[in-house]
Amino acid sequence: MKLGVPMEPKGETRVGIVPTSMKKLLKAGFEVVVEKGAGVAANYHDSAYEDAGATIGSRKEVLACENIVCIRFPGIEGISKGANLACVSDPFRNPENVKACMDAGITLLSMDMIPRRLSRAQSMDVNSSQDNLAGYKAVLLGASHVPKGIPMMTTSAGTIRPAKVVIMGSGVAGLQAIATAKRLGAVVYASDVRKTAAEQIESVGGRFIEVDGMDDFEDESGYAKPLTPEFIQKVNDTVCGVAADADIIVTTARIFGRPAPITVPSSAVANFKSGAVIVDMNADVGGNCEDTVAGKVTTTSNGVIIVGTSNLPGTIATTASMLYSNNLTTFMTSLVDEGAVVISEDDDILVGAPEDSDFYVNGMGGVLICKDGEIHPKQTRLGGVL
């Protein structure tokens, strides 16, 4: 079984497999071929891969492998018919990539479609591992841009009040952001449309912002449901009111397969204080802040700094690559049966939980997107997009 690890596209500093994963992959029977220089941006050099048992090869050699693992969709050129491609393909936003794989007879395994509530999926959940790091880095970016100290300090020149941080959304990324801001010494307020999040927010040191009329807007997969325009407006008004005098605001609201919802409209930004910093964690999918510019740090006319970094995990590529590699290695080795990678219809990770399961989400399957030129039957929502 050959497993190829290609270099990621320009702008992506992470790598799909790191040298420390080699032992487990080799034990499972994989022969790993890594494209020359694939891990350099994440500080994993060719010599480390070779020392761990991998072969360094050309891109052509890597893409000729029957199994290819990476982060970004690498394109289909050079990939053989029948090959397995495991990556974060974001199929709802990039249906053209799914169509390309179908036309080429490539089996597409999209790691962002992991059924995250299945207990067996936890160690394979690339969304959680990368979101966790993104939440951590978002607060550090906010702290680096805000023109004041974060913790309370008592000095001979006077007492410095702690910074006020508001975290909008408290999923995996939001909870890590809360915990990080709290460790830095900030007073942290946090919101979420899921009522169940209140206890989680408080457990990591945050103060829950409750909105009148709040229900539990959470779907069966653990993601936030789309909200009515009226309730979105109420949430925006309440949370942005709390954030009006905040020093750092981190936005985390992301809806699976849809554009990011606007949680900080321009009208709210106009009322934030000069020197406040907004870190928009969803700049890559439209942004939560109406004034965010993807990939840039901008300053509004009233002095509010907006950080639109598009790939937060990529800013800490060494750690992010290691966690992603652990997820991917666990996933790929789980597919091995008697010396071959088997794409089984009985594997809930691949095809989604049974329809009678609490974990089943109507119209969405698991990681398996297409095989043998056909979209998987459970991917009915994606079929509608195509």
Residues 244 and 294 in one domain: yes
For the stretch 159-194, pLDDT in tens is 999 999 999 999 999 999 999 999 999 999 999 877
Does any domain span residue 386?
Answer: no
Residues 191 and 303 in one domain: yes
Q: What is the C-alpha separation between 307 and 137, in angstroms, rounded?
A: 12
* Residue span of the structural domain in which 263 resides: 133-311
Residues 157 and 256 in one domain: yes
For the stretch 45-64, pLDDT in tens is 999 999 999 999 999 999 99
Flag whether pLDDT at 244 surpasses 80.
yes
The confidence band for 236, taking pLDDT boundaries of 50, 70 and 90, is confident
Token pair, residue 37, equals 């220089």
Residues 89 and 9 in one domain: yes
| Catalytic residue (choose from 44, 223, 324, 360) | 223
For the stretch 57-85, pLDDT in tens is 999 999 999 999 999 999 999 999 999 99
Residues 154 and 96 in one domain: no
Burial of 127 from C-beta contacts in 10 A (0-12 / 13-18 / 19+): buried
**Is 125 in the active site?**
yes
Residues 24 and 91 in one domain: yes
| Catalytic residue (choose from 128, 130, 191, 221) | 128
Does any domain span residue 211?
Answer: yes
Q: How far apart are the first and last CA of the chain?
A: 32
Does any domain span residue 384?
Answer: no
Burial of 51 from C-beta contacts in 10 A (0-12 / 13-18 / 19+): exposed
Residues 231 and 369 in one domain: no
Residues 150 and 77 in one domain: no
Does any domain span residue 381?
Answer: no
Q: What is the C-alpha separation between 79 and 105, in angstroms, rounded?
A: 10
Flag whether pLDDT at 385 surpasses 80.
no
| Catalytic residue (choose from 112, 125, 284, 348) | 125
* Total domains, the chain: 2
Does any domain span residue 70?
Answer: yes
**Is 128 in the active site?**
yes
Q: Of 295, 311, 327, which residue sits at a domain end?
A: 311
Integer-rounded Cα Rg, in Å, for the chain is: 22
Does any domain span residue 226?
Answer: yes
How many degrees, rounded to 5, is the angle at CA 174 between CA 379 and CA 321? 70
Token pair, residue 361, equals 């989400």
| Percent of the residues in the chain that have a pLDDT greater than 90, as a whole number | 80
Which of 384, 345, 348, 343 is closest to 366 using CA atoms? 348
Residues 119 and 147 in one domain: no
Please report the pLDDT score of residue 196 as a whole number. 79
Q: What is the C-alpha separation between 380 and 163, in angstroms, rounded?
A: 47
| Catalytic residue (choose from 80, 122, 334, 357) | 122
What are residue 155's DSSP bridge partners?
A: 158
For the stretch 217-233, pLDDT in tens is 655 555 555 667 787 78
| Catalytic residue (choose from 116, 131, 136, 191) | 116
Which of 134, 166, 340 is closest to 239 using CA atoms? 166
List the CATH number of the domain containing 169: 3.40.50.720
